[in-house]
Amino acid sequence: MTDVNFVHPAGDVLVREIEARVDDGIVSITGLVSPDVWDHIELEDVFGSRTRVRRGSLASSGDVRISVSAPESATGPGAGPFARDWSIDSALRRDETADGEVWIGLAFAPPPQWLGAASGLEELGLTRSDESDVSVTYRDADGTVVEVVADTARKLATITCRRTVATPDEVALVETLKVLNAVNDRFVAGTAVVAGADLVLKIGLPIPENGDVAAVLEDLAYALPGMTGMVVDAAGPVMTGEKTAANAIEELFG
């Protein structure tokens, strides 16, 4: 057993009595930190301790046994190891139970890919209505429903905006489709469609091998609801027969 000092700009982190293992190119280190070092880890978000998903609770007092992991490249020669290259997987404290001494605490997981998009939608004033491990749904005051999906198992991410307008009659549907065809000619990244009484704008993108589409989803979350509002304002009256397709297209594109 030995100690490892992880370098961090806000103050290094000393992990004592470590055990290390390598599995499929990932290095995992488990060791003890003192209570004040644990407070520092949480305060400064070292190893992503505040920004990763947390499950469980860390009660009691005393030393904390943490587990962190990183690719083998993070243990190369030279300075370091640098805390920025490592992610926390668990933080446990010793506790006495009727069954004897156990370690109880927190398990950490990567934040969902939709997290940044959710923050963006909240900044825009939307309200969260549902969420799961792979998706989150928001609603605005005008009734627009925004669903962000990041399904790493299927390697597909989507952001969908839906606004209920009215079920168009046959003539209004044809006129509405003319408007949406004009939108789609310019909206090369996504699709605008009529679905029953709803106008829907949707963008889908593949999740790459590194699994990271969070930044793209966040950018889309800022942009797509506003674009949906513009399309609804122009095409909505076409769905209800109050406006012609030509007028809507002129309103949208000049």
Question: Domain 115-253 maps to which CATH number in 3.30.1330.10, 2.40.50.100, 3.30.1460.10, 2.160.10.10?
Answer: 3.30.1460.10
pLDDT at residue 208 in the model: 85
Cβ neighbours around 119 below 10 Å, total = 12
More confident residue, 50 or 99: 50
The band of 1, judged by pLDDT with boundaries at 50, 70 and 90, is: low
User: What is the average pLDDT value for the chain, to the nearest integer?
Assistant: 92
Which two structure tokens, joined as six digits, stand for 100?
A: 């004897």
3-class secondary structure for 179-248? Answer: HHHHHHHHCCCCEEEEECCEEEEEEEEECCCCCCCHHHHHHHHHHHHHHHHHHHHHHHHHHCCCCCHHHH
Identity of the amino acid at 66? I
Q: What is the pLDDT of residues 210-222, one digit of tens each?
A: 778 889 999 999 9
Nearest to 140 by CA among 235, 240, 226, 238: 226
Q: Provide the 3-class DSSP secondary structure of residue 168.
A: coil
pTM over 0.75: no
Please compute, for residue 80, the number of CA atoms within 13 A of its CA located in the half-sphere on the CB side: 14
Q: What is the pLDDT of residues 20-38, one digit of tens each?
A: 999 989 999 999 999 999 9
Q: What is the pLDDT of residues 38-64, one digit of tens each?
A: 999 999 999 999 888 889 999 878 999
pLDDT at residue 112 in the model: 86
Identity of the amino acid at 215? A
Would you say residue 77 has pLDDT above 80?
no
Q: Strands across the sheet with 156-164, in order?
A: 127-131, 135-139, 145-151, 156-164, 198-206, 191-195
Would you say residue 100 has pLDDT above 90?
no
pLDDT at residue 247 in the model: 95
Verify cis geometry, omega within 30 degrees of 0, for the bond prior to 206.
no
Q: What is the pLDDT of residues 79-94, one digit of tens each?
A: 779 999 999 999 999 8
- CA–CA distance, 236 with 198 (Å, rounded to integer): 9
- Domain extent listing, the chain: 4-109, 115-253
- CA–CA distance, 221 with 160 (Å, rounded to integer): 9
- CA–CA distance, 232 with 237 (Å, rounded to integer): 8
Q: What is the pLDDT of residues 8-24, one digit of tens each?
A: 999 999 999 999 999 98
